[in-house]
Amino acid sequence: MDDYMKDISKFVENAIEKAKELGGTAKIHALIKAEEAKKQEQYYRLGRKYYQLFKDTPEKDLMLYVDKLKACDEKIAELKESLKANEGDAFKEVEEAADAGEEDENASAS
């Protein structure tokens, strides 16, 4: 019976040690992912800064990317204008509906 208890005790100790190792491994993987995310953020900031500084005079090798960014900027500007126009139209429709409701109320009151 003592041998059996010793075996169980060793098994539990080994399992605990393995769990600690795996926990440490998971922590290291999480740290690696965090550093990779930081690196992606720095690439983003670098690219954004480059574009701000050199969009009018990009290096030949980067011209394609700068042109695509400029096209995106133009499309965003168009969409924002469209949004403003739609919001203005929606506001007019609400005003017209409110005016029509007031006319209906005035006609009913007479």
Q: Which tens digits make up the pLDDT trace of 3-45?
A: 777 888 888 888 888 777 777 788 888 889 999 999 999 999 9
Q: Is the pTM of this model over 0.75?
A: no
Please check whether residues 49 and 61 belong to one and the same domain.
no
Please check whether residues 31 and 63 belong to one and the same domain.
no
Range of 41's domain? 1-54
DSSP 77-109: HHHHHHHHHHHHHHHHHHHHHHHHHHHHHHHHH
Please check whether residues 49 and 62 belong to one and the same domain.
no
Task: Using the 3D structure, point to which of 35, 54, 73 is the last residue of a domain.
Answer: 54
- More confident: 49 or 93: 49
Please check whether residues 62 and 100 belong to one and the same domain.
yes
Angle at 30 between CA 35 and CA 47, to 5 degrees: 25
Task: Using the 3D structure, point to which of 12, 37, 54 is the last residue of a domain.
Answer: 54
Please check whether residues 46 and 33 belong to one and the same domain.
yes
Please check whether residues 68 and 40 belong to one and the same domain.
no
- 8 Å CB contact between 64 and 51: no
Please check whether residues 21 and 69 belong to one and the same domain.
no
Average pLDDT score over the chain: 84
Q: What is the dihedral of CA 35, 39, 42, 47, to 10 degrees?
A: -170
